[in-house]
Amino acid sequence: MREVDRRSKYDRRVFLKGAATAVPTVAIATSAGLTVSDAWAGDATTLTPATLKTLLKVARDIYPHDFLGDSYYITAIQPWDGKAAKDPATKSLITDGVARLDKEANDRHKTPYAQVAWENDRVALLQRIETTDFFQKVRGDLIVSLYNQKELWPKFGYEGSSAEHGGYIKRGFADIDWLPKA
- Per-domain residue ranges of the chain: 37-154
What gap in Å lies between CA 135 and CA 138, rounded to an integer? 5
Residue 109 — pLDDT band, cuts 50, 70, 90?
Answer: very high
pLDDT > 90? residue 104: yes
- What count of other Cβ atoms lies within 10 Å of the Cβ of residue 112? 18
Q: Taking residues 11-36, what's their average pLDDT?
A: 56
**pLDDT higher than 80, residue 95:** yes
Give the pLDDT of residue 34.
46
Instruction: State mean pLDDT over 15-38.
Output: 55
Confidence at residue 33, expressed as pLDDT on a 0 to 100 scale = 47
Those residues whose C-beta lies under 8 Å from the C-beta of residue 164, and which sit 6 or more positions away, are none
Nearest-10 crossing angle of helices 79-86, 88-109 = 120
134 touches 100 (CB < 8 A): yes
Strands (E), 13-165: none
Q: What is the mean pLDDT of the chain?
A: 83
Amino acid 2: pLDDT: 52
Do residues 91 and 85 lie in contact, with contact meaning Cβ atoms separated by under 8 Å?
yes
User: pLDDT tens digit string along 35-87?
Assistant: 555 677 777 789 999 999 999 999 999 999 999 999 999 999 999 999 999 99
Q: What is the pLDDT of residue 162?
A: 78
Among 89, 86, 84, residue whose Cα is nearest residue 47: 84
First-to-last C-alpha distance (Å) of the chain = 55
Q: Is the pLDDT of residue 139 over 60?
A: yes
Comparing 8-12, 40-44, 107-111, which segment has the lowest mean pLDDT? 8-12
Residue 2 C-beta-side C-alpha neighbours within 13 Å: 3
Cα dist from 173 to 152, 166, 176, 181, whole Å:
22, 11, 8, 17
